[in-house]
């Protein structure tokens, strides 16, 4: 047997034969269809022939593609030197491996993609190339391949290219195939100048995207772009606009601030939105409000800000979770964010102690667990939460965990019961009224559930 060959199994040979027969059958069908179409078109070609100015010219030359993608302006000037020569379609073909269930094999399927020279150069910031192409017939509003050149320039942070396109008539509100305007694609801090240009040329600051119904303010808020938010608000953006999910920009910002190193950016964004009249309470379609999202991300300062502006700790979402429930579920995911302080704040603003099923989420966080347990006037029996505590953590905090088991289903100390009575009396105002009591600081801290390292 030759080294360049290898045996096929009988099943493989049958599959290959079946694939070849199907391909031949498909080729015959397409040939017949083309013949019928040709005869039909020939009878009316003269009446349906588009004018020369509207005909699309396709460019498949790899050398021209290379000049465009590398920004070779001298080569581009040679290629596109005739008037109206730059409005061509750049076509590329790639072979994609796709599974064919009919034949049980993978096959290479050619896939064509189309764009324009103007889109290619604008996306890469080749301003001289963009200028030359526009001067030689490239239409700034051609949206080929799903979007226009202005979308690419803004997304790529290329202010000069955006300026050229807008000054030559590009529509600042042109929508892409997925329903986004260029302003929706200003998603980084470096796109601020592009956003300013778009607004100067008439971009609608409250224009919702076609599918998500998000405004540019939603996008900027969800990215933590304080400068963009300030710009849009100064241009009349609606801080209470709702997207398809029913979320306001405040809710979008609170949901997105899930990385502690970016907490400061989102805090500033929400502060500006609140000052502009944004609603700190309005939930999305699933009942998940800003306070739920901020609590889930363990953003203590953001939670405090929302509470100061009237957010309620009693509101439940569609899953019947309160903001406190959301905070407890994430207590072990953000240990560096001091989750116990967040739980303490929510409880001191009147949040009711949750059902015992939530204990397993916060049991591995001793400080959080202690603060939560001290909000109950009695601890029900059972050690169902014990298995949620890792062995190493149990050994490290053995005294604390054993103190919980010791008081389970037992009367709590009179001092603790007095604390519960005082807290019930003040309810939602514990955080404000208890510090004003004429009591020693130690007792004030005790009433506000300051942890002590054990449960009594």
Give tens-digit pLDDT for 362-382. Answer: 999 999 999 999 999 999 888
Q: What is the side-by-side strand order in the sheet with 89-100?
A: 58-59, 89-100, 105-115
What is the number of alpha carbons within 13 Å of residue 454 lying toward its C-beta? 9
Q: What is the DSSP string of 386-453?
A: GGGS-HHHHHHTHHHHHHHHHHTTSPPPHHHHHHHHHHHHHGGGHHHHGGGSSS-HHHHHHHTT---S
Q: Quick one: pLDDT at residue 99?
A: 72
Domains annotated for the chain, with CATH where assigned, are 55-201 (1.25.40.20), 362-456 (no CATH)
Helix axes 159-167, 127-135, angle to 10 degrees: 10
Average pLDDT, the chain: 89
Q: Quick one: pLDDT at residue 47?
A: 42
Which whole number is the average pLDDT over 201-208? Answer: 97
* Model pLDDT for residues 164-195, shown as the tens digit of each residue: 999 999 999 999 999 999 999 999 999 999 99
Examine the pLDDT at 402 and tell me if it is beyond 90: yes
For residue 241, name the pLDDT band (cuts at 50, 70, 90).
very high
Three-state SS at 380 = coil
Q: Quick one: pLDDT at residue 43?
A: 46
Which whole number is the average pLDDT over 295-313? Answer: 96
Examine the pLDDT at 4 and tell me if it is beyond 90: no
Helix axes 159-167, 192-200, angle to 10 degrees: 10
Q: Quick one: pLDDT at residue 72?
A: 95
Q: State the Cα–Cα distance between residues 348 and 428, nearest whole angstrom.
A: 7
Q: Quick one: pLDDT at residue 3?
A: 44
* Model pLDDT for residues 12-36, shown as the tens digit of each residue: 666 666 667 666 776 666 666 566 5
């Amino acid at each position: 047997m030759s080294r360049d060959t290898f045996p096929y199994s009988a099943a493989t040979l049958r599959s290959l034969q079946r694939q070849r027969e199907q391909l031949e059958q498909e080729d015959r069908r397409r040939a017949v269809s083309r013949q019928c179409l040709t005869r039909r078109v020939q009878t009316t070609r003269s009446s349906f022939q588009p004018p020369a100015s509207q005909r699309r010219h396709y460019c498949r030359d790899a050398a021209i593609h290379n000049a465009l993608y590398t920004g070779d302006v001298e080569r581009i000037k040679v290629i596109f030197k005739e008037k109206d020569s730059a409005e061509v379609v750049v076509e590329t073909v790639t072979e994609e491996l796709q599974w064919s269930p009919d034949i049980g094999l993978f096959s290479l399927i050619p896939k064509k993609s189309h764009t324009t020279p103007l889109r290619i150069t604008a996306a890469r910031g080749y301003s001289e190339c963009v200028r030359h192409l526009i001067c030689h017939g490239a239409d700034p509003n051609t949206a080929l391949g799903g979007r226009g050149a202005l979308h690419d320039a803004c997304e790529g942070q290329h202010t000069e290219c955006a300026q050229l396109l807008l000054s030559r008539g590009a529509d600042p509100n042109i929508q892409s195939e997925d329903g986004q305007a260029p302003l929706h694609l200003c998603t980084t801090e470096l796109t601020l100048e592009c956003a300013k240009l778009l607004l100067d040329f008439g971009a609608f600051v409250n224009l919702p995207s076609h599918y998500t119904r998000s405004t540019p303010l939603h996008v900027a808020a969800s990215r933590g772009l304080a400068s963009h938010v300030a710009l849009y608000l100064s241009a009349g953006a609606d801080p209470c606009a709702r997207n398809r999910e029913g979320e306001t920009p405040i809710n979008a910002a609170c949901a997105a601030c899930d990385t502690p190193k970016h907490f400061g950016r989102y805090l500033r964004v929400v502060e500006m939105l609140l000052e502009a009249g944004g609603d700190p309470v309005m939930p999305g379609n699933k009942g998940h409000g800003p306070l739920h999202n901020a609590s889930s991300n363990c953003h203590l300062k953001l939670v405090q800000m929302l509470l100061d502006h009237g957010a309620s700790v009693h509101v439940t979402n569609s899953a019947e979770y309160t903001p406190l429930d959301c905070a407890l579920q994430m207590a072990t995911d953000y240990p560096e964010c001091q989750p116990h302080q967040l739980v303490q704040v929510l409880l001191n603003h009147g949040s009711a102690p949750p059902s015992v099923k939530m204990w397993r989420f916060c049991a591995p966080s001793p400080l959080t667990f202690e603060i939560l347990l001290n909000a109950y006037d009695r601890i029900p029996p059972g050690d169902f939460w014990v298995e949620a505590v890792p062995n190493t953590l149990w050994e490290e905090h053995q005294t604390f965990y054993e103190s919980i088991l010791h008081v389970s289903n037992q009367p709590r100390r009179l001092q603790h019961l007095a604390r519960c009575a005082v807290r019930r009396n003040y309810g939602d105002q514990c955080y404000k009224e208890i510090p004003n009591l004429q009591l020693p600081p130690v007792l004030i801290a005790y009433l506000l559930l300051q942890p002590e390292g054990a449960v009594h």
